[in-house]
Amino acid sequence: MGFNFRGAWSIYIRELMRAFRTAFQSILAPVLTTSLYFIVFGSAIGSRMEPIGGVEYAAFIIPGLLMLTLLGETTSNSSFGIYMPRFTGTIYELLSAPVGVAETLIGFVGAAATKSLILAAIILGTATLFVDYQIKYPLFALGYITLVAASFSLFGFILGIWADSFEKLGIIPVLILTPLTFLGGTFYSLDMLPEPWDTIALANPIAFLVSGLRWTFYGSSDVSIAVSLGLTLGFLAICVTVIAFIFKTGWRLRE
């Protein structure tokens, strides 16, 4: 059988519409939270901070705040999207339908990534209300945000298959991704940390993601953009490999 475009499109639209049915939780809540960060850190505290690398502090934290929201929302949306069919038992209808791995991933992962890109655009628009900023490499920024969204949508898909309870769905986004993003240079440059903490901070993989996105905005970062891009592509490849194994063996899908 060839690629089932209608099947992939049906899954994609259904998942995308789910976000709009819960717009307050999926879109408005993250935007309000990010706005509070801009008010507290950008306006109140940022006005007393010296520019970092020639960039105003309120503008400096935009890539970090964007990454903070992007990682959490992308992972949660994708994991919840595949977990619910497993929870309700409708996953068997999907497995018996004439759709393959590619169609399933494009549907679930594509919808989660699209929601994240919409959310990113809204957050960047909201940021203009609080600070003047410019994106130095807008095409690179769009490409990098899309790559990160796709990677963590795949990761969330794996998480949704692994989880056997609603509690487990929130463990990694809340207890791992969010703290790592806060410690990954969201509100500061790694160069500001004293020894040996600046070196230890490089053990945090999220620091490379934040740094890579910051480079696309301002042309400077804590680590090389090539390293950040390479790690992101490597993570994407690992997620694809794991998902291919899951569909080949049926792990958790048929339990």
Query: pTM for this structure?
Result: 0.92
Task: Calculate mean pLDDT across residues 162-176.
Answer: 90
Q: Are 225 and 212 in contact (CB under 8 A)?
A: yes
13-27: pLDDT as tens digits: 999 988 777 777 778
Q: How buried is 216 (Cβ within 10 angstroms: 0-12 exposed, 13-18 middle, 19+ buried)?
A: buried
User: Residue 136's closest CA among 219, 26, 65, 223?
Assistant: 219
Q: Are 95 and 82 in contact (CB under 8 A)?
A: no
Q: How buried is 93 (Cβ within 10 angstroms: 0-12 exposed, 13-18 middle, 19+ buried)?
A: exposed
- The predicted pLDDT at position 18 comes to 82
